[in-house]
Structure 1
Amino acid sequence: MGQMIVHQKELIRINTPKNCIEYSTNDGRIWHKRANASSSMGSLQDLADNGKEILLTTSKGLFYSTNKGSSWHKRS
């Protein structure tokens, strides 16, 4: 896994200092914040695209998103 992925024609990355998810639609020239990590998520670590969803590993477990990282749900 990595801290930046390509998902549905967007670059999506973890901004580690800000502990948030950002996206770019212009090959990384400009980045926009998509979601902040909640306290229940802990620190963001890695991203992976598995087709229908994005996976995110954090210091508090595995989370998934089906809406390009706008919201996250803990994988049980």
Structure 2
Amino acid sequence: MGQMIQLDDELIRINTSKNCIEYSNNNGRSWHNRSMASSMMGTMQDLINNGKELLVTTSKGLYYSSNKGRSWHKRS
């Protein structure tokens, strides 16, 4: 588990100060916002590559994304 992963040609990370998912397609030289955590998700903690989807653990549960972190859905 961690706050940054490699997925295809992108680095994807949790920016803890902004509580958002960011991506880089130039090996981390610059970062771009991919999605913000809503108040319903809580604080993002860990980011996991689970093969066909990304998982993020938050203070309010486990969420998954099948589109590189553009949108998130609660895993029940």
- Residue type at the aligned position of 1:60: K
TM-score of the superposed pair, with normalisation by structure 2: 0.98
Q: Aligned with 2:41: secondary structure?
A: coil
Shift of residue 7, structure 1, vs aligned partner: 1.0
2:30 corresponds in structure 1 to 30
Q: Percent identity?
A: 72
Give the equivalent residue in structure 2 for 1:16: 16
Query: Partner of 2:29: helix, strand, or coil?
Result: coil
Structure 2: segments with no counterpart, 5+ residues: none
Rounded Cα–Cα distance in structure 2 between residues aligned with 1:61 and 1:30? 29
Moved over 2 A (4+): none
CA distance in 2, matches of 1:61, 1:7: 23
Give the aligned partner of residue 57 of structure 2: 57
Q: How far is 1:35 from its partner?
A: 0.2
Q: CA deviation at 1:14?
A: 0.3
Q: 1:30 aligns to what SS in structure 2?
A: coil
How far residue 55 of structure 1 moved from its aligned partner, in angstroms, is 0.4
Which amino acid is 2:45 matched to? Q
Gaps of 5+ in 1: none
What is the alpha-carbon root mean square deviation over aligned residues?
A: 0.5
Quote how far apart the aligned CAs of 1:52 are. 0.2
